[in-house]
Structure 1
């Protein structure tokens, strides 16, 4: 493969870029350059602007891969000119002007709704914001039931919370309207209702793969997740 695109991996809420640690070697061994930035998890469009700034500084084409909330981020950041394709891993494919809360509100709640913990953090203006994370005791069952318990024990205490305000922020763009997309539905997902994933992907015209997986599909099924990324690369090669 000459001049392969760079795969940019965008993590979701309650996680960081290390959540891709099983997927990254699969992609690197395929000859694909990989970048896995840390998402601030402060606001949807702010996080997308940060990822877009990373993408703009990468020479050549990019395939954006977003897990969970990271799917919403790539939906906006994917409007960058050098983004070739979008890949959603158990993610949110939002419509322009739609929020995470609005998309989720179309469907019954997942188990995540009763597993969230709220904490306060200081805002630059002197006010107080609210962070959302998962009760550490519920991370394995709700977030990663098919992942090694020793791994989830670490994930539970190393969470990167999401600012609660991000749930209500409307997406400023929907890159899937102009870019081809692929999506994995985690059929045993207890963090996002799998029907939320299916609905967003169908609306986006994505090529869909369904896997019997928990929410952390890239940790429990890295080879299958890598196959979908490689398919997106091949299908949009130029």
Structure 2
């Protein structure tokens, strides 16, 4: 997806760390560089918050960028989204909007 939609700042901010894959083969875990978390992930929350986020982040398998989806669930399963144009972490900076969408999804209605 990142190659299809250029301009993302996430991929260049990732650090790869060797880690075993679920099948035991060699794999890579990806982390957002600590110094980049605020800029690429959560620019509108305090830096003190992004430092905590950086320290506690869970890794992302590198296969997330290379694996292929076998189906498109949103074609058959109702889904909701929140599109943030400048904020990359709305659950911290706009929690009410996020909660409204989650509540709407639970009720099965559009917000």
Bucket of the pairwise TM-score, normalised by the shorter protein: 0.7 to 0.9
Task: State the partner residue of 1:105.
Answer: 3
Q: How many residues of Structure 1 are paired with residues of Structure 2 in the alignment?
A: 109
Q: Does 1:164 align with 2:62?
A: yes
Higher relative contact order (CA 8 A, sep 6+): 1
Q: 3-state DSSP class of the match of 2:29?
A: strand
- Aligned equivalents of 1:155, 1:126: Cα separation in 2: 28
Calculate the TM-score normalised by the size of structure 1.
Answer: 0.42
Q: Which has the higher strand share?
A: 1
- Aligned equivalents of 2:108, 2:36: Cα separation in 1: 39
* 1:132 positional shift: 0.9
Q: 3-state DSSP class of the match of 2:16?
A: strand
Q: Which of 118, 126, 133 is equivalent to 2:16?
A: 118
Q: Which of 48, 51, 61 is equivalent to 1:153?
A: 51
Task: State the partner residue of 2:100.
Answer: 227
Question: 1:71-150 counterparts in 2 under 5 A?
Answer: 103-123=1-21, 127-150=25-48
**Shift in CA distance, 124/111, structure 1 to aligned 2, threshold 3 Å:** closer
- Aligned equivalents of 1:176, 1:111: Cα separation in 2: 26
Task: State the partner residue of 2:80.
Answer: 182
Calculate the TM-score normalised by the size of structure 2.
Answer: 0.83
After superposition, what is the alpha-carbon deviation per residue over 1:171-190, rounded to whole angstroms, capped at 9, x for unaligned?
Answer: 233221122222111101xx
Unaligned runs of 5+ in 2: none
**Shift in CA distance, 117/173, structure 1 to aligned 2, threshold 3 Å:** same
- Aligned equivalents of 1:229, 1:121: Cα separation in 2: 33
Q: Pairwise CA RMSD of aligned residues?
A: 1.9
- Aligned equivalents of 2:33, 2:79: Cα separation in 1: 32
Q: 3-state DSSP class of the match of 1:185?
A: coil
